[in-house]
Amino acid sequence: MSKVEDMLWVSQVVINDDRRAFDKLVLKYQSSVRRFLLNLTLGDSMLSDDLAQETFIKAYLNIRSFKGISVFSTWLFRIAYNTFYDSVRAKKHFEDLNIAEIDKKNSSEIEYSIVKNDIYTALKLLSEEEKAVILLCYMEEMTHKETAKILKLPLGTVKTHIIKSKKRMAKFLMEQGYGK
**What local confidence, expressed as pLDDT, does residue 98 receive?**
43
Total count of residues recorded for the chain:
180
Per-residue pLDDT of the chain (180 residues; tens, 9 = 90+): 488 899 999 999 999 989 999 999 999 999 999 999 998 888 889 999 999 999 999 999 999 999 888 899 999 999 999 999 888 877 654 444 444 444 444 555 556 556 677 788 888 899 999 999 999 998 888 999 999 999 999 999 999 999 999 999 988 888 877 775
Indicate the DSSP class of residue 33: H
User: Per residue in 162-173, is it b (16+ CB within 10 Å) or e — as a string?
Assistant: beebeebbeebb
Tally: H helices and E strands in the chain: 8, 0
34 touches 52 (CB < 8 A): yes
pTM: 0.65
Alpha-carbon gap, residue 118 to 154, rounded angstroms: 30
**What local confidence, expressed as pLDDT, does residue 118 receive?**
78
**What local confidence, expressed as pLDDT, does residue 100 receive?**
43
Give Cβ neighbours of residue 58 (< 8 Å, ≥ 6 apart).
79, 83
Q: What kind and span of H or E run contains 120?
A: helix 107-124
**What local confidence, expressed as pLDDT, does residue 65 receive?**
92
**What local confidence, expressed as pLDDT, does residue 96 receive?**
41
**What local confidence, expressed as pLDDT, does residue 145 receive?**
94
**What structural domains does the chain harbor?**
1-95 (1.10.1740.10), 98-180 (1.10.10.10)
Instruction: Give the 3-state secondary structure of residue 126.
Output: coil
Q: What is the CA angle 12-31-26, rounded to 5? A: 15
97 touches 148 (CB < 8 A): no
**What local confidence, expressed as pLDDT, does residue 51 receive?**
95
**What local confidence, expressed as pLDDT, does residue 108 receive?**
56
Give which of 161, 158, 162 is closest to 147, Cα–Cα: 158
Side-chain half-sphere of 127: how many Cα atoms within 13 Å? 7
Indicate the DSSP class of residue 154: -
